[in-house]
Structure formats: structure tokens, C-alpha cells
């Protein structure tokens, strides 16, 4: 039994389904751990497959290939003194498990299975996996080590069982996605387990974007006595080495590195940048295109894209019509200059007017309404998709959570695109982030320092500019009011009566509920975007399109 352990954490960015790529990442981390003389190397949850592989887990060949890749990485430990903690899928007696393999000198010396399978919000592991039993600690270098897997630590019985059976330290691999305050929630959780069980816990999280989820890393370790002894980087890959010594009061960390966490203002920007960057790169694109209207949403998306990919990989196009104001033309060009991106102007007057001319026999003398407005939006979407097809750029869409909540967007028009960085940002959050980014240079970002969004864009009243003198507030309540109602309705699932009790007009609350319900079909067809809050439109919110329920708490 040793009184000294060097533990390495590989906070990496695996890609779901990329078994050869993930295997190579694991090999490189193992060699790095061997080079620094680590006794233990831990990888993050379901590392070989990436988290989460969804219905790939129903493909027998994928399962066979993933298990073989895990065996290949186990074999890499031969002739080394480093013990590998490898999270992966594993099959036994016809059952599939979310598992950890403990590998030493080319052999699997222990397997441990996740007991608590999450099945709420964005998680649905019970669809695929069998829960494991309460497990015993694993002896590593003579030290009894508990290995709870992610959700296991959210249930006190798992860690309590390990501690009562002699575990002296807990090593916890995770696939924990980011959303508001998640880093502090994790710390509170680990703090509670450490206080209950009296042993330190090392918490490793993966990093990177996967469809609508963003994993922020931010791995850390805590000791009894509420001592944070290790803190890895957020929103970046990291390789963290720490030394641990056993003393009379148990194991203590003697050289933990502690990095600063991003502020609550910076974190959503970094999450959106990482989600966009990985979505573009992991899907094989090299550059993006978007419509730059002179409004706040497209300006923020352009800034996020430059921070994620670099100015040379971002193409902005202004698509003016007769209702586009001179101020919008100026503001869009100024924004493009601040960001240093390619900027083109493609007027849509000719094709829109021709479409209206051809439709005149069908439209007849009916008054102008949304149909004519939507032609403008859809023409813009058609042109942007044409540029995307011709140049191979991914089209970004720019609708915010407030607009998508009430259907204030044109399907097959401004909703066109492969990814929406603002999908989980309310309108007032977009304004706040624009103001924040103009004053700060975020870490791991590629855009210029200093202001990147013209102040005129932040200051002016929002408008779709689809008819003369149009303003969003012509048909919507002020955004601070709308955002509060939507927060209550969507994120808090509050009854209408409780929302009214906050001071909102009953008729307005009922109207917003109706708009939210009838816009579900649009949201089902909308582009994916990064989950930034506990309750996003996407994976974690499944409402029926055909929905007859009526909340009668407001008359």
C-alpha cells in the first residue's frame, strides 16, 4: 500500500461516434500520463463513444466496435505503471452498461457499472442501459478507491456505500453539460458528499459541444473541511496532474492547480462560442454565413461566430428591401468592419416584387398582411441558402428565445440555417451579452478586443423592418415583460394565475400562452442551438404540437 498517488485527469473533447478519434485522444492522454509518472489516469464518462451516443447504442455493430476500441486502449497500458480508469459502454450477459474499466498492465482488473441512470431533462439513459449494483471500491496501488459515475453522486447511498466499505478517495468521471450556475451546483453537490463520507472526491468532466449540449469541463477536487484543492479550466481542454499524500486524517492534495472560473456574465458567451465552434468543426464545415440585418440578434451571432472561428471564416450578407432603413444599412456595415469579416449586400427588391407580381392573381385585392412580409423573409432565407450551397458555408440562424417562444419568426425564412447560437437566450440576455462583449475579451476566443457591436445597434428599438416604421413592440409587449412571462411559463412551468400574481395583465398572459402553444410546430423544425439555461427549447422540453390543454387558473 502506498501513501503517495499522482493522479492525472484528461479533460478532453471526444466526438460522439468517432471511435478511432476518441481512441487516439485516449492514447495520447495515456502517454502523457506515463510521461509525468502518473499512478492513475482518469478519462471522462463514456469516453470511447462520446457522451451521449443516443440510438447508436441500438446498432449491434457500433456496440461491438466500441467495446473493441475500449479493449485496444486497455492494451495500451501494458508495460506501464499507470492505471487507467476508462469509462465506456460494456456488455455482460446480454445487458448493456454505462461502465468504467480499470486497466493495469494491459489487463482489465475491475469493472464498475453506473447505478443511478438519469432519466429527466436531456438525459434518458434508462432507454439504453441496465443499472449496476452497489459496487465495492477498487484497489489501485493498494489503495481502496471508489468510482461513482456521474449521476451516482447525486444519490447519497452510492458514495455512502463505497465509503463504508473502505474507499479512501472517490474518483468520479462525468459527462455533465453546462447551463446557468451549473458549476456552482456541482460544487455544492460534491461538497455535500465529501462532508457526509469524510473522503476527498476528484470530479472530472468532459469539455466540448455535442449537438445542443455544451460540456464545460471545469474539473475539480474537494477535501473534507470544505477545501477546494483543484480547479481545472472551463470551456477548454485540460490535462491536470495532482499529487496526493495519505496522512493521519486521510488523503490530502499537495499541489493542486486552481484556475479561475469564468464570471456569470462570461460563461454563457463562452458556452455559446464553444457550442458553435464544435458544431461547425465536428460536422465538417470550415466557415459560416449569416444575414446581417443591422439588428442586435444578427450582430451578436456574427460576433460569436468570429470568436468561435475567426474573422476569415465568417461571411455576412445584408439583404435590403424597400423597408430597410438607412440606419440598418449603416449599422450592419459598421458591425462587419468592427469584426473584420467579409461583407456583401444582396438586394432582394427584384425577386420579392416579381413574386408579388406573379401572386397577384391569387392574392387578388386582399389587404397586405403577414403573407407579403413573409415573402421578404423567405426570399432572404432562399438567397442565404443558395450562398451556403454554392460556397459550402454553414448558414447560421439568429432568432432568440423570446421570439422563438412566441413564434415571432418565419419558418423557411429567417429560421433557415444549420445552427442557432441564440436559441436559448432571451432578448434581454442578448442585449446584456452584447454590452458585456463590447467591454471584455473572453478567454479562448478569436475575435478582436474592444467593441465589436456598434452602440447604435444596442440602443435602437428592435424591428424586423418588413413594413413601414415597424417595431417589435407593435405586436409584442416590451421585451423585459415578455421575457419575464416566458421565464415563468417555460423555465418555471408556473400556472397562469401565479404569473398574473407577479403583476402581469391576465389578458396578456393568456395571449402569450396561446402564442407559445401554437408555435410548437415551428420550434420542432428549428435549427439546434446550445442549451444555456436549465429549460431550453429542445432536448429537455417535449411538448405536443397538437395540444388541447388549457390552464384555467386565469379566467
Which one of 444, 472, 500 terminates a domain?
472
Measured at the alpha carbon of residue 512, what is the angle toward residues 510 and 515, in degrees to the nearest 5? Answer: 115
Confirm or deny that 44 is annotated as ligand binding.
no
- What local confidence, expressed as pLDDT, does residue 61 receive? 98
Confirm or deny that 375 is annotated as ligand binding.
no
Query: Is 485 contained in some domain?
Result: no
Does residue 307 sit in the same domain as residue 175?
no
Does residue 279 sit in the same domain as residue 379?
yes
Does residue 306 sit in the same domain as residue 447?
yes
- The dihedral through the CA atoms of 318, 324, 326, 331 has a sign that is negative
Confirm or deny that 151 is annotated as ligand binding.
no
Confirm or deny that 297 is annotated as ligand binding.
yes
Q: What is the CATH number of the domain that holds 463?
A: 3.40.50.620
Does residue 343 sit in the same domain as residue 456?
yes
Q: What is the CATH number of the domain that holds 69?
A: 3.60.110.10
- What local confidence, expressed as pLDDT, does residue 539 receive? 81
Three cell numbers written together for 360: 397577384
Query: Is 157 contained in some domain?
Result: yes
Least Cα distance to 344 among 306, 317, 326 occurs for 317
Burial class, 452, CB count within 10 angstroms (exposed 0-12 / middle 13-18 / buried 19+): buried
Does residue 246 sit in the same domain as residue 271?
no
Query: Is 123 contained in some domain?
Result: yes
Does residue 108 sit in the same domain as residue 238?
yes
**Which H helix or E strand runs over 201?**
strand 201-205
**Cα gap 57→454, rounded to integer Å:** 47
Does residue 249 sit in the same domain as residue 279?
no
Confirm or deny that 141 is annotated as ligand binding.
no
Does residue 235 sit in the same domain as residue 340?
no
Confirm or deny that 520 is annotated as ligand binding.
no
Confirm or deny that 429 is annotated as ligand binding.
no
Q: Which DSSP state fits 154?
A: G
Confirm or deny that 475 is annotated as ligand binding.
no
515: left (phi over 0), alpha (psi -120 to 50) or beta: alpha
Contact 87, 173 (CB under 8 A): yes
Query: Is 538 contained in some domain?
Result: no
Which one of 432, 453, 472 terminates a domain?
472
Query: Is 529 contained in some domain?
Result: no
Which one of 472, 501, 519 terminates a domain?
472
Read off the pTM. 0.95
Q: Which residues are catalytic?
A: 45, 114, 150
Does residue 277 sit in the same domain as residue 220?
no
Confirm or deny that 292 is annotated as ligand binding.
yes
Confirm or deny that 298 is annotated as ligand binding.
yes
Burial class, 247, CB count within 10 angstroms (exposed 0-12 / middle 13-18 / buried 19+): exposed
- What local confidence, expressed as pLDDT, does residue 473 receive? 77
Confirm or deny that 293 is annotated as ligand binding.
yes
Domain count, the chain: 2
Does residue 219 sit in the same domain as residue 275?
no
Other Cβ atoms within 10 Å of 156 Cβ, number: 12
pLDDT tens digits for 405-449? 999 999 999 999 999 999 999 999 999 999 999 999 998 999 999
**Cα gap 489→483, rounded to integer Å:** 10
| Beta strand pairing call for 83-92 and 107-113 | unpaired
Confirm or deny that 80 is annotated as ligand binding.
no
Contact 69, 53 (CB under 8 A): no
**Cα gap 550→554, rounded to integer Å:** 10
Question: Whole domain around residue 456: which residue ranges?
Answer: 266-472
Contact 290, 301 (CB under 8 A): yes
Q: Which residues of the chain have pLDDT under 70?
A: none
- What local confidence, expressed as pLDDT, does residue 463 receive? 81
Confirm or deny that 294 is annotated as ligand binding.
yes
**Cα gap 310→314, rounded to integer Å:** 7
**Cα gap 32→308, rounded to integer Å:** 27
Does residue 413 sit in the same domain as residue 314?
yes
Tell me which residue has cell 490535462: 239
Burial 360-381 (b: 16+ CB within 10 A, else e): eeeeeeeeeeeebbbbbbbbbb
**Cα gap 136→161, rounded to integer Å:** 8
Confirm or deny that 176 is annotated as ligand binding.
yes
**Which H helix or E strand runs over 315?**
strand 314-318
Instruction: List, in sequence order, every residue forming a beta bridge with 215; answer none if it has no partner.
Output: 177, 208
- What local confidence, expressed as pLDDT, does residue 462 receive? 84
Least Cα distance to 315 among 287, 334, 294 occurs for 287
**Strand, helix or coil for residue 208:** strand
Query: Is 525 contained in some domain?
Result: no
Does residue 306 sit in the same domain as residue 174?
no
Give the distance, in angstroms, between the CA of residue 136 and the centroid of all CA atoms in the same chain: 34
Three cell numbers written together for 300: 451578436
Query: Is 372 contained in some domain?
Result: yes
- What local confidence, expressed as pLDDT, does residue 494 receive? 95
Three cell numbers written together for 186: 456541482
Other Cβ atoms within 10 Å of 484 Cβ, number: 18
Query: Is 494 contained in some domain?
Result: no
**Cα gap 167→200, rounded to integer Å:** 10
Least Cα distance to 90 among 53, 130, 140 occurs for 130
Amino acid at each position: 500500500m502506498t501513501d503517495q498517488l499522482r493522479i492525472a485527469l484528461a479533460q478532453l473533447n471526444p466526438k460522439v461516434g468517432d471511435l478511432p478519434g476518441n481512441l487516439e485522444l485516449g492514447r495520447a492522454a495515456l502517454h502523457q500520463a506515463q510521461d509525468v509518472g502518473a499512478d492513475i489516469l482518469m478519462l471522462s464518462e463514456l469516453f470511447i463513444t462520446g457522451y451521449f451516443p443516443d440510438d447508436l447504442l441500438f446498432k449491434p455493430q457500433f456496440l461491438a466496435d466500441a467495446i473493441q476500441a475500449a479493449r485496444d486502449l486497455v492494451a495500451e497500458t501494458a508495460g506501464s505503471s499507470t492505471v487507467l480508469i476508462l469509462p465506456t459502454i460494456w456488455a455482460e450477459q446480454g445487458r448493456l452498461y454505462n461502465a468504467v474499466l480499470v486497466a493495469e498492465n494491459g489487463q482489465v482488473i475491475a469493472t464498475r457499472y453506473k447505478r443511478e441512470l438519469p432519466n429527466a431533462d436531456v438525459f434518458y439513459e434508462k432507454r439504453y442501459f441496465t443499472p449496476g449494483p452497489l459496487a465495492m471500491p477498487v484497489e489501485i496501488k493498494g489503495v481502496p478507491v471508489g468510482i461513482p459515475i456521474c449521476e451516482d453522486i447525486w444519490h447519497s447511498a452510492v458514495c455512502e456505500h463505497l465509503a463504508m466499505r473502505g474507499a479512501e478517495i472517490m474518483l468520479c468521471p462525468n459527462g455533465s453539460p453546462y447551463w446557468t450556475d451549473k458549476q456552482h451546483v456541482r460544487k455544492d453537490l460534491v461538497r455535500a458528499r465529501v462532508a457526509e463520507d469524510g473522503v476527498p472526491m476528484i470530479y472530472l468532466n468532459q469539455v466540448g459541444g455535442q449537438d445542443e449540449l455544451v460540456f464545460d469541463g471545469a474539473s475539480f477536487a474537494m477535501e473534507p473541511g470544505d477545501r477546494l484543492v483543484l480547479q481545472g479550466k472551463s470551456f477548454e481542454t485540460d490535462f491536470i496532474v495532482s499529487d496526493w499524500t495519505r496522512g493521519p486524517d486521510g488523503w490530502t492534495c499537495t499541489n493542486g492547480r486552481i484556475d479561475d472560473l469564468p464570471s456569470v456574465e462570461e460563461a454563457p458567451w463562452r458556452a455559446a462560442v464553444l457550442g458553435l465552434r464544435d458544431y461547425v468543426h465536428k460536422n465538417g464545415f470550415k466557415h459560416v454565413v449569416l444575414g446581417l440585418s443591422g439588428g442586435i440578434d444578427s450582430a451578436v451571432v456574427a460576433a460569436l461566430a468570429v470568436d468561435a472561428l475567426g474573422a476569415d471564416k465568417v461571411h455576412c450578407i445584408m439583404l435590403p428591401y424597400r423597408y430597410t432603413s438607412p440606419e440598418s444599412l449603416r449599422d450592419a456595415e459598421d458591425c462587419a468592419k468592427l469584426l473584420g469579416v467579409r461583407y456583401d449586400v444582396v438586394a432582394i427588391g427584384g425577386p420579392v416584387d416579381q413574386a408579388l407580381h406573379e401572386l397577384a392573381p391569387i392574392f387578388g385585392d386582399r389587404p397586405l398582411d403577414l403573407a407579403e412580409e413573409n415573402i421578404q423573409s423567405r426570399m432572404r432565407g432562399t438567397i442565404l441558402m443558395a450562398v451556403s450551397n454554392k460556397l459550402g458555408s454553414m448558414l447560421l440562424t439568429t432568432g432568440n428565445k423570446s421570439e422563438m417562444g412566441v413564434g415571432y419568426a418565419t419558418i423557411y425564412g429567417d429560421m433557415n440555417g444549420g445552427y442557432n447560437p441564440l436559441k436559448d437566450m432571451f432578448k434581454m440576455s442578448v442585449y446584456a451579452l452584447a454590452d458585456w462583449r463590447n467591454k471584455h475579451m473572453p478567454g479562448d476566443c478569436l475575435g478582436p478586443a474592444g467593441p465589436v457591436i456598434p452602440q447604435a445597434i444596442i440602443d435602437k428599438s428592435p424591428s424586423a423592418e418588413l413594413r413601414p416604421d415597424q417595431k417589435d413592440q407593435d405586436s409584442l409587449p416590451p421585451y423585459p415583460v415578455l421575457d419575464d412571462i416566458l421565464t415563468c411559463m417555460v423555465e418555471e412551468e408556473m400556472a397562469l394565475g401565479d404569473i398574473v400574481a407577479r403583476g402581469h395583465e391576465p389578458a396578456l398572459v393568456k395571449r402569450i400562452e396561446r402564442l407559445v402553444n401554437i408555435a410548437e410546430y415551428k420550434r420542432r423544425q428549428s435549427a439546434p442551438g446550445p442549451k444555456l439555461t436549465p429549460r431550453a427549447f429542445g432536448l429537455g422540453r417535449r411538448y405536443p404540437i397538437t395540444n388541447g390543454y388549457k390552464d384555467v387558473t386565469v379566467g
